[in-house]
Amino acid sequence: MIPLSVAEIAEITGARPHPAADCGPVVTDTVVTGPVVIDSRQARPGSLFAALHGRYADGHDFASQAVAAGAAAVLASRPPGVPALIVPDVAAALAALARACVDRASGLTIAAVTGSAGKTTTKDLAAQLIESLGPTVAPQDSYNNEIGHPLTVLRVTEQTRYLVAEMSARGPGHITALCEISPPRLGAVLCVGHAHAGEFGSIDEVAKAKAELPAALPDHGAAVLSADDPRVLAMAEHTAARVVTFGRSPRADVGADDVVLDEAGRPGFTLRTTAGSAPVRLRLHGEHNVVNALAAAALAGQLGMDVAAVAAGLSAATARSRWRMEVTRRPDGVTVINDAYNASPEAMRAALSALAAMARGRRAFAVLGPMAELGAQAEELHEQAGRQAARAGLAGLIVVGEQAAPMLAAARADRSWRGELLQVPDAAAAVAAVSERVRPGDTVLVKASRAASLERVALALTGEVQL
Ligand SMILES: Nc1ncnc2c1ncn2[C@@H]1O[C@H](COP(=O)(O)OP(=O)(O)OP(=O)(O)O)[C@@H](O)[C@H]1O
Ligand SMILES: [Mg+2]
């Protein structure tokens, strides 16, 4: 982070310094140099420990451990037994602190990515391109909400030139709030889908929330919008920034010609931009990653990277975040695709299509769990996924958990279904069912929403864990 004294942090966050009985007062001229951490085990000399009340633990109980590990200051919402800066809302204080760091970081350019699917993948690709232009900070994994985003921003130092942010929304105003923490010059909107549609009420409400990113951009900025999604393209009307489109549509400013998939389902294509073309061979699996790569290319292009460098960078880029189309070839010749990080209807379709492409006519199995947060449409959207599974020509569909049962029913009812159908109660039963059936040459996809934690199935199949 950008170094701040404890007194400055108190002023920025409106905190009240609170002494602790045995340890004395808060020392206000101590300088906090970072990192800002919410896990006491990551505290180091110079750290700021922020005590959050999580689902499983209360950070206030660990403040003394953070101080023992060298933390220079503690931010808390109640006295935690060590000298601390007390604020009513620690997340809001982190947001204020993050904004103050952005204001102090001269020469920082911020690019943000939002959309219903592909944010982390696009952010990881964009970061790998932009790193070649200068020191870049990008979120770890999916740090994209009111906690993860400020923590990411607080990793910016005086040397940082680029911040690539992932922004998620579970309700109106969330993206606006993230943009206020770190005002982006560039913003990419990937797609508007059903992820979190249950919480929003409808897909049009999801679109409104994603539109907050282009709406927050300045007139000297660039809105990178999908030419393939009419709801995203319509956001061009509501931004002061220049609009650059990307996608499979031939009208896109940044597009992909001659897309082919290799035997492992990795796309190759000609990157086509208004400034020229260059060949790309992605290391990521699945055709859906073409548009993620195009969005990353558009962002890097807006920062001045030339087409050849972008194409070379995309071809060298690897998957930085786990459990997204993570492909493991077992010694016995069975291929396991761990795409279990998350699932939405759009992501299910993309993964099933990638599975069919990668199996190339050999036997394919899918282990699918529930898709969460779909609201009233949940049953219908699970049925749709079941029909897509039927049309993917699977040898077997293994559905995990009651909530996902409509997938099985819809696959069974579909006239194109030829394979075996199985409903299992949990991850361990899924592993047993797959293990009994697979033979060398088979491919197995594992996918569900985060809450189902089906990565355990994939990790058990690849031997990384035992269930
Ligand atoms: N362009 C795309 N279209 C459809 N599905 C996609 C696309 N890109 C990724 N996915 C699917 O979405 C899943 C999650 O990908 P990723 O983590 O990049 O998305 P995300 O938007 O960051 O998700 P989250 O909201 O969980 O942070 C992947 O496993 C893949 O199945
Ligand atoms: Mg993500």
CA–CA separation, 64 vs 50, rounded Å? 12
Which ligand 1 atom sits closest to the C-alpha of 354?
A: 31
In this prediction, residue 20 carries a pLDDT of 86
CA–CA separation, 317 vs 313, rounded Å? 6
| pLDDT tens-digit map of 135-149 | 999 999 889 999 999
CA–CA separation, 327 vs 461, rounded Å? 12
To the nearest whole number, what is the mean pLDDT of the chain? 95
Residue 31, pLDDT above cutoff 80:
yes
What is the secondary structure of 51-98 as a DSSP string? --B-SS-BGGGGHHHHHHTT-SEEEESS--SS-EEE-S-HHHHHHHHH
The alpha carbon torsion through 47, 53, 57, 63 (nearest 10 deg) reads 30
Instruction: Using most ligand atoms within 8 A of CB, pick from 141, 210, 325, 341 the residue to mutate for ligand 1.
Output: 341
Expressed in percent and rounded to 5, the helix, strand and coil fractions of the chain are 40, 20, 40
Q: Which amino acid is at 323?
A: W
- The residues lining ligand 1, judged by C-beta closer than 6 Å to any ligand atom, are 117-121, 142, 144, 168, 195, 288, 291-292, 324-325, 339, 341-342, 346-347, 350-351
In this prediction, residue 403 carries a pLDDT of 93
CA–CA separation, 304 vs 310, rounded Å? 10
Residue 249, pLDDT above cutoff 90:
yes
What does the pLDDT average to over 273-287? 97
Residue 90, pLDDT above cutoff 80:
yes
